Structure 1
Amino acid sequence: MQEDILKLAFEVHRVTEEKIDVIEALTRRTKTLSLNARIEASRAGQQGAAFAVVAQEMSVFANEVGQLSTELRSAIASNIARIETAGERMMLEFRGSRFADLSRNVVEIIDRNLYERSCDVRWWATDSAVVEAAASGGQDPALLTQANARLATILRSYTVYLDLWVADAQGRIVATGRNDRYRSALGQDVSHSEWFRKAMQTRTGDEFAVCDITRNPLLESASVATYSTAIREKGETHGAPIGALGIFFDWEPQAQAIVRGVALTEEERRNCRVMLLNADFQVIASSDERGMLVEKFPLRLASPERGFYMQGDRVISYALTPGYETYAGLGWYGCIESNLPRY
């Protein structure tokens, strides 16, 4: 509706200018005819006196019409400018607010998805095969084979993961779900990895750790969202930590599907860039596939949770994650950068 108002205002302005140009052209022709008539009247002497009076009236009439067209042009231009300004403000408010809502929707969808990942890691850390492999300290081949098979079974059902790792209390990976694909992971020391350290610091089996999106060199440098928690004695909620479970969510295809699935019109889709930004405004997903984990978007927070603003001829809309259930989120933002339509 706002864009229709602007289009109508520009069209009225264009048509009015055209018609006034025609009036002014007719006025100039009338003045020329009046001048020629006065010249001919003067040549005719006394006999052309009456004709000279008519010619003079034609000149006066042409001047009055010219003055009227000038005033009309000025009045219409002023009012059209006010309509355009109001229409642009309405369009900005509508577009900015709508895209801020869609930005919130984007980040809500991903957080609902990641909430499920936090549930997965806490559940699988109590699996008997996982607990027994960690309890053995990686010394019992039969238990490790059983754990590898169990993790592989989980991965066949949960295709959004690249791999699942069991690390012993010292931080050595003793079981994985895809040791046929990621052969270098097994036996690696991950004691200094953020996911392992955070997992071992959890106080109960109800807690979990989550790391920001990074590329994992042991997973062919794929971008992953990593969730972890401690594996506890006998799988009990308050048991002592005996190892850690790390699960690696295949981030890029899942996130791309979300930023590309935003409810935009085809025209909007051509003129918008939909993004997910981490707490440092680093691009972690983008509908145009640019800047993944290397671009820092210059987001200006007009308000902390939701807003929009003009940046040149673009509207930047954003929304902070509200979190979901027990998952507070990592301070991520949904963001839509849109180009204003030209008329």
Structure 2
Amino acid sequence: MAEEVKNISERISKIASGLTEDLQVSVNELTALGQSMCFDMRGQRLADLSLNMIEIIDRNLYERTCDVRWWATDASLVDALTNHSPGNCAHASERLGIILDSYTVYLDIWLADNNGRIIASGRSGLYGRVIGANIAQEPWFKKAMQHSSGDQYFSGQVTAESLLNSSQTCTFSAAVRSKAGKQTPVIGVIGIFFDWKNQTDSVLKGVRLSDDERSRSRLMIIDDNRRIIASSHTHNHLGERIELKTKAAQTNGYTILGKNLIQGYLVTPGFETYPGMGWLGVIEQHLPTTDT
């Protein structure tokens, strides 16, 4: 009898041990599945928020491409380039100043002749070194001079412009043509300087994150060379490179950078006739400690 009880006890112990091992395997699998679902849900949300962020930037820059082509046909600018009289140049500067009073997203607007000399500026009182400066070697000037039609424009990278007190700007340009025609000879170039820092700061602050989420997140706009051109972290500098692990052939998604760090991203889709610059909206977020 004692031997039978011993055998039954051993069998019960083996069964219990097997159940414990099976249960632990199941628990581990469920835990891994739960973590994966958590990462997927949060990662997709960050990608969606990145879309909203870069989409606002794209729409904003699209409007700048319309502005520069429209203002290139302004009669006062055509007159100043046709006849470089002090009166005409002063009138062109006055006209540019009026435009800037209504379009507060710009730092300044410049008008340059075919030699690259700036003859008019909307904020010459604020930026005293602009009038008379030569920008013939600037990419935005060279590109505009090569345009074959009034429908064309140039959209530049984000830079710090020395003549604008090293302010961060994104420059758009277009050719100004005689008699404001689409195919007439080029007589100069208009350059408009988007107030990049202030405008993108506003966009980043407008992303819908709770205070807790924002404290655990870094929001960024990244250019096509994987350099930071806007960031919610003030210690990030213009042009600083970032580790960005996008998945091949995917324009949006997320990457797990560490045990508790997710990076959601989306490549610019462009807007209307503006194809975008290959820039990305990126949001990095640390998971809260309760999710570890």
Tell me whether the two structures share a fold, i.e. TM-score over 0.5: yes
| Correspondent of 2:68 among 115, 121, 130 | 121
1:289 and 1:191 map into 2 onto residues whose CA distance is: 33
| Correspondent of 2:125 among 139, 156, 180 | 180
Question: How far 1:285 sits from its partner (Å)?
Answer: 0.7
Aligned to 1:245: 190
Question: How far 1:315 sits from its partner (Å)?
Answer: 1.3
Indicate if the aligned counterparts of 1:279 and 1:333 stay in contact, CA closer than 8 A. Answer: yes
Question: How far 1:93 sits from its partner (Å)?
Answer: 1.4
Residue-by-residue CA offset, 1:29-87 (whole Å, 9 max, x unaligned): xxxxxxxxxxxxxxxxxxxxxxxx9xxx9x99999998787666544433221111011
| Coordinate RMSD, CA, aligned | 2.2
TM-score, normalised to structure 1, is 0.78
Question: How far 1:342 sits from its partner (Å)?
Answer: 2.8
Indicate if the aligned counterparts of 1:260 and 1:274 stay in contact, CA closer than 8 A. Answer: no
1:74 and 1:257 map into 2 onto residues whose CA distance is: 54
Aligned to 1:310: 256
Indicate if the aligned counterparts of 1:283 and 1:293 stay in contact, CA closer than 8 A. Answer: yes
Question: How far 1:201 sits from its partner (Å)?
Answer: 1.2
Secondary structure, in 3 states, of the residue corresponding to 1:316? Answer: strand
Question: How far 1:278 sits from its partner (Å)?
Answer: 0.4
1:292 and 1:195 map into 2 onto residues whose CA distance is: 23
Aligned to 1:286: 231
Indicate if the aligned counterparts of 1:96 and 1:309 stay in contact, CA closer than 8 A. Answer: yes
2:65 and 2:190 map into 1 onto residues whose CA distance is: 12
- Range that drifts further, 96-105 or 239-248: 96-105
Residue-by-residue CA offset, 1:227-254 (whole Å, 9 max, x unaligned): 0000000111111100000000110011
Aligned to 2:282: 335
Aligned to 1:45: none
Q: How does 1:1-343 map to 2 (within 5 A)?
A: 73-136=20-83, 138=84, 140-304=85-249, 305-313=251-259, 314-343=261-290
Secondary structure, in 3 states, of the residue corresponding to 1:185? Answer: coil
1:260 and 1:60 map into 2 onto residues whose CA distance is: 70
Point out which structure has higher relative CO (alpha carbons under 8 A, 6+ apart).
2
Unaligned runs of 5+ in 2: none
2:16 and 2:60 map into 1 onto residues whose CA distance is: 64
Identity %: 40
2:9 and 2:163 map into 1 onto residues whose CA distance is: 86
Unaligned runs of 5+ in 1: 1-52
1:244 and 1:257 map into 2 onto residues whose CA distance is: 30
Q: Aligned AA for 1:171?
A: G
- Range that drifts further, 267-276 or 161-170: 267-276
Mark the structure with the bigger radius of gyration: 1
1:110 and 1:69 map into 2 onto residues whose CA distance is: 61
Residue-by-residue CA offset, 1:264-305 (whole Å, 9 max, x unaligned): 233322211111000001001111233231311111221331
